Amino acid sequence: MNKLRPGQIRRLVMYYHYLRDNPDLSTRGSISSGELADIIDVDDTQVRKDFAAIGVRGQPRIGFDAKEISIAIRSALHLDHVCDAIIVGAGRLGGAIASYPDFNHYGLKIKAIFDADEKKVGTRIAGLKVNSIINLESEMKRIQAMVGILSVPAVAAQEIADRLVRAGIRAIWNFAPTQVIVPERIRLVNVHLSASLAELCYCVRCKCKGE
């Protein structure tokens, strides 16, 4: 199968999410590209192309099989290929991420949470005992996590990122409101809340519409 592009991945996730959250669809069985298009707010041609790309074929006058779509998306996105992750930063944000209910559905397994604050060490978040950041390297050797989630203050982000990289992390999901620099081979995805926020506020202030 061809490599999926970011836009495609995002749309596939949206379709998947909608199908999962509307179990009545499994009963009904099928859904048309037009109906999905309206919900996700894309063109119906786009939907059909996305499905074609992951090998799902529909039936004229009927539509696409909901169950088949879900299975094909899980397969195309490798959602069943679980990978391990650790969270660094057990503050409110770290806790919120650890409790995020969707991780199960997206193949990410949180194996450990670290924090520099010794007062937090030992407390429990989302069923995991917070570990001291001192043990990051030794625990990484044991866990061999692929994904590191950064929810530390901006000032600490670069240092922790460096340590994660040295410890063999393969990807970093950065929630810290700063830029971290990592080697070429490391996959970095920043969650830039400020950009999303700026867009929202700009549009409110200009009374301009739609996303």
Considering CB distances under 5 to 8 angstroms, the limit depending on partner class, which of a second copy, DNA, none binds residue 155? none
**DSSP tag of 198:** H
The one of DNA, a second copy, none whose footprint includes residue 118, by CB under 5 to 8 A per kind, is none
| DSSP H helical ranges for 102-147 | 136-143
The minimum distance between CB 60 and a second copy, in angstroms, equals 28
Rounded CA Rg of the chain = 20
Extract the runs of DSSP E, i.e. beta strands, from 36-186: 64-65, 83-88, 108-115, 124-125, 128-132, 147-150, 171-174
What is the Cα–Cα distance from 104 to 172, expressed in whole angstroms?
A: 18
Among 23, 29, 122, 177, binds a second copy (CB under 8 A): 177
Q: Report if residue 96 touches a second copy, rule: CB under 8 A.
A: yes
27-66 residues near a second copy, rule: CB under 8 A: 39
Strand partners, 114: 88, 131
Nearest distance in Å: CB 1, a second copy = 10
Q: Which does 63 bind (CB under 5 to 8 A by kind): DNA, a second copy, none?
A: DNA
Q: Which of 34, 91 has the CB closer to a second copy?
A: 91
Interface with DNA by CB under 7 A: which range of 47-55, 86-94, 125-133, 192-200?
A: 47-55
State how far the Cα of 67 lies from the Cα of 76, in Å rounded to an integer: 14
Among residues 15, 16, 51, 175, the one that binds DNA under rule CB under 7 A: 51
Could you give the CA distance from residue 47 to residue 50 in angstroms, rounded to a whole number? 5
134 binds, among DNA, a second copy, none (CB under 5 to 8 A by kind): none
3-state class (DSSP) for residue 136? helix
Residues contributing to the site for DNA (CB under 7 A):
5, 7, 32-34, 42-46, 48-49, 51-52, 57-64
